[in-house]
Amino acid sequence: MNCYIPENLTEALEIRKKTHAVPMAGGTDLMVQAKKGIGINPAFKTPIMIISYLSELKGIKVEDDGTLVIGSLATSSEIADDERVFYPIRKAASLMGAVSLRNTATIGGNIANASPKGDLPQPLILLDAELVLSSIDRERMIKVDDFIIGAKKTVLQDDEIIKEVRIKPVKATHYFYHKIGTRKANAISKLSLSILADVEDGILKDFRASSGASGDKVKRSRDAEMILIGKPISEIASHIDEFTSAWDRILSPHAMPQYRRESTRRMLSDFLIKLSEGAEPGIYE
């Protein structure tokens, strides 16, 4: 097995194009998937390229227009600790694994791994986050929601590397984030849900939701969201059943379907009832 350690992004993209070596950053997914047992080297089926050193992919910054740019090598700890990062992403990052994992795992890796239970894609999709995919020949932008096409499946080309995550400023008055883990810390997600609402002059200007661990990929439905968008707060209560039923139809959980569907429905209903009762702007869990 070949392992490459490029010193800069250009070199990395050249190697990627030539060898299709799989980029490895924190290794918290790939090393686990490749492990063979005690005293035995991990066995990778493809060449590997360790990209942890590439400074071009590091850091978190905010551009002049307010766009948040998270380098693909930003770790969960860095994201969780950065107040400029939108709340649901920060919260999701803070609940990933244990401290040692959060210090190592990267946002690029979490997206590329494309696990339906992955922590970061869910809030990223809520916020319509986009990825910049670089190759030696070109650069392209794609929404995270379009990048991940199924469980462990993405449209990443074999010459591309995820360079950064871009999130345009979002107007929101209310945020909701809830992860149900197998336990309270160091846990894999059983179910997660983010909601964003923007209330202005008594009108629900924007409403979005995003469901993790509820199917082969993160679930969102603009059609369902449109049921609520533009409605006066006073009318929300009468649309809760319609909305939650529409939302339920997009979910496709394999295991514990009843629990995942009912909990999602109850969390959505509960939040919408609060909203319809004039809940203060802020963060809800």
Q: What residues make contact with another protein under the rule CB under 8 A? A: 36-41, 178, 180, 182-188, 190-191, 256, 258-260, 262-263, 266-267, 270
Q: Shortest distance, CB of residue 85 to another protein, whole angstroms? A: 23
Burial (CB count within 10 angstroms: exposed 0-12, middle 13-18, buried 19+), residue 246: middle
Q: Shortest distance, CB of residue 265 to another protein, whole angstroms? A: 9
Residue with tokens 């670089």: 134
Find all residues with CB under 8 Å of 183, minimum gap 6, and list them.
none
Q: Shortest distance, CB of residue 96 to another protein, whole angstroms? A: 12
Among residues 1 and 226, whose Cβ is nearest to another protein? Answer: 1
The separation between the first and the last C-alpha atoms of the chain, rounded to the nearest angstrom, is: 46
Taking only Cα atoms into account, the Rg of the chain, rounded to an integer number of angstroms, comes to: 20
Q: By C-alpha distance, which of 218, 250, 264 is closest to 117?
A: 218
Q: Shortest distance, CB of residue 258 to another protein, whole angstroms? A: 6
Q: Shortest distance, CB of residue 123 to another protein, whole angstroms? A: 18
**Hey, what amino acid is at 57?**
L
Among residues 39 and 201, whose Cβ is nearest to another protein? Answer: 39
Q: Shortest distance, CB of residue 251 to another protein, whole angstroms? A: 15
Among residues 83 and 185, whose Cβ is nearest to another protein? Answer: 185
Among residues 185 and 201, whose Cβ is nearest to another protein? Answer: 185
Among residues 45 and 184, whose Cβ is nearest to another protein? Answer: 184
Among residues 202 and 257, whose Cβ is nearest to another protein? Answer: 257
Find all residues with CB under 8 Å of 211, minimum gap 6, and list them.
122, 191, 192, 193, 218, 219, 220, 247, 250, 251, 264
Rounded Cα distance between 210 and 15, Å, is 36
Find all residues with CB under 8 Å of 238, minimum gap 6, and list them.
none
